[in-house]
C-alpha cells in the first residue's frame, strides 16, 4: 500500500514538474482521439443514411381486380416463409380506390372516367420490405410462377432494379473505404502515441538509470509511468468527449434537417456513451502502457 502511495506521488510530481511535456502529450492524444471520433461519426452517419434509403425501398405487387381475399392470403402465407422478408402488408381494393381518388381529386376527367366504370377496377396491393435491397430479386423470383403471374397486374419494383443495385454498390464501397480509413487511422494513432510516449520517456532516460542505480526496483520505476498513462488517458478522453458534445451542438441542427426519423449524433453518443468512452479509454491506456514499456526497456537494463 505504501509503495502504491509512493508510486502515485512520484507520478503526480512528475506530471506537475513536467507540465509542458504532460500538456503536449494530452494535446496529441486529444487530437488523435478527435480524428478517430470524426471518422467514427462519419461512418455512423453513412450507415444511418443508407439504412434510411434502404427502408424507403419496397416492392409493391399490384393484383388484378378479380383477385380474391383467399388468393391474397395464400400468396402472403407462401411469401412469409422467405427469411429475407422483414415486413409485409396488404392494401385492400377499397383502400387502393380511395387512395387513387384522393390522388386525382383535382382531375375531374379521371374521376368521371372512374365513375363510368361503375365498379372498382383496382385489385389489392401487397407491399413487401426485405432486409437488403438485393433480396428483392429472390422475392420476385418466388412470385414468378404461372399461378401467381396470372393474378399480378404489375410489380412496382422492376423499374427500380438498377437504382437499387447502384445504391448497394455505393454502400458496399463506402463500407470498404470506411474500413480502410479506420485501419489507416489505427496505425497512425499507434505511431503517434508510441512516439509521443517515447519522447516523454527519452527525456527522462537519465533519471530512469539513476533510479535504477540507487536501488529502485522495476515496479518502482515503471509504476509512475503506469499511473501517468492512466491520468493521460483519463484527461484526453474527458477533454475529447467534452469537445465532441460541444461540436455536436452545432452539427445536430443540420442533421435533424437531413434525417427525418429524428436521428441525431448526440442521441447516438448518449445511448452508446459507456461503450464509446470505455473502448477509447482502454485503447489509449493499452497503447500508452505498451509504448512506455517498449520505450523503457533499454533504460531498465542498467
Partner 1 sequence: MIKLEGVTKIYSTESVGLRNINLHIKAGEFVSIVGQSGTGKTTLVRLLIAEEKPTKGKIVIGDWDITKIPSGEIPYLRRQIGVIFQDFKLLPKKTVYENVSFALEVAGEKNKHIAQIVPQVLDVVGLGNKMHRYPRQLSGGEQQRVAIARSLVHRPKIIIADEPTGNLDSLNTVEIIEILKKINEFGTTVLLATHNREIVNELRRRVITLRSGEIVSDEITGKYRL
Local structure of residue 152 (DSSP, 8 states):
E
Q: How far apart are the first and last CA of the chain?
A: 27
Q: Is 3 in the site for partner 1 (CB under 8 A)?
A: yes
**Cβ(224)–Cβ(11) under 8 Å?**
yes
Sign of CA dihedral 139, 141, 145, 151: positive
Applying CB under 8 A, the span of 2-10, 56-64, 67-75, 276-284 interacting with partner 1 comes to: 2-10
- Supply the DSSP string of 237-251, one letter for each residue: HHHHHHHHHHHHHHH
Does position 6 interact with partner 1 (CB under 8 A)? The reply is yes
* Count of chain residues binding partner 1 (CB under 8 A): 19
- How many angstroms separate the CA atoms of 213 and 121, rounded? 98
Longest dimension (CA), the chain: 106
Q: Which is nearer to partner 1, 155 or 222 (CB)?
A: 222
12 binds partner 1, rule: CB under 8 A: no
User: Does 45 interact with partner 1 (rule: CB under 8 A)?
Assistant: no
Q: Which residues pair with 136 in a beta bridge?
A: none
In the complex, minimum distance from the CB of residue 244 to partner 1, in angstroms, rounded to a whole number: 34
In this complex, which beta carbon is closest to partner 1, that of residue 209 or of residue 264?
209
Q: Does 297 bind partner 1 (CB under 8 A)?
A: no
Least Å distance, CB 13 to partner 1, is 7
**Interaction site with partner 1 (CB under 8 A):** 2-3, 6, 13-14, 17-18, 207, 210-218, 220, 302
Amino acid at each position: 500500500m505504501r509503495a502504491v502511495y509512493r508510486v502515485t506521488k512520484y507520478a503526480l510530481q512528475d506530471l506537475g514538474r513536467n507540465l509542458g511535456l504532460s500538456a503536449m502529450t494530452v494535446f496529441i492524444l486529444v487530437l488523435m482521439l478527435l480524428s478517430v471520433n470524426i471518422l467514427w461519426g462519419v461512418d455512423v452517419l453513412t450507415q444511418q443514411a443508407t439504412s434510411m434509403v434502404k427502408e424507403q425501398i419496397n416492392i409493391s405487387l399490384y393484383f388484378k381486380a378479380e383477385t380474391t381475399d383467399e388468393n391474397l392470403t395464400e400468396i402472403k402465407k407462401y411469401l412469409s416463409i422467405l427469411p429475407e422478408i422483414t415486413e409485409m402488408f396488404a392494401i385492400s381494393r377499397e383502400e387502393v380506390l380511395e387512395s387513387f381518388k384522393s390522388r386525382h381529386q383535382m382531375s375531374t376527367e379521371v374521376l368521371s372516367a372512374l365513375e363510368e366504370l361503375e365498379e372498382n377496377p383496382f385489385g389489392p396491393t401487397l407491399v413487401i420490405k426485405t432486409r437488403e435491397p438485393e433480396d428483392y430479386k429472390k422475392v420476385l423470383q418466388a412470385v414468378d410462377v404461372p399461378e401467381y403471374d396470372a393474378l399480378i397486374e404489375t410489380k412496382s419494383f422492376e423499374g427500380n432494379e438498377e437504382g437499387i443495385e447502384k445504391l448497394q454498390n455505393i454502400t458496399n464501397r463506402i463500407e470498404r473505404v470506411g474500413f480502410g480509413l479506420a485501419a489507416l487511422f489505427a496505425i497512425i494513432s499507434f505511431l503517434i502515441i508510441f512516439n509521443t510516449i517515447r519522447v516523454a520517456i527519452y527525456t527522462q532516460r537519465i533519471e530512469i538509470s539513476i533510479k535504477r542505480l540507487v536501488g529502485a526496483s522495476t515496479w518502482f520505476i515503471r509504476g509512475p509511468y503506469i499511473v501517468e498513462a492512466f491520468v493521460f488517458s483519463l484527461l484526453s478522453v474527458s477533454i475529447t468527449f467534452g469537445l465532441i458534445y460541444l461540436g455536436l451542438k452545432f452539427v445536430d441542427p443540420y442533421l435533424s434537417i437531413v434525417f427525418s426519423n429524428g436521428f441525431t449524433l448526440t442521441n447516438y453518443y448518449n445511448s452508446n456513451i459507456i461503450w464509446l468512452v470505455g473502448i477509447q479509454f482502454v485503447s489509449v491506456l493499452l497503447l500508452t502502457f505498451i509504448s512506455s514499456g517498449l520505450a523503457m526497456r533499454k533504460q531498465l537494463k542498467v
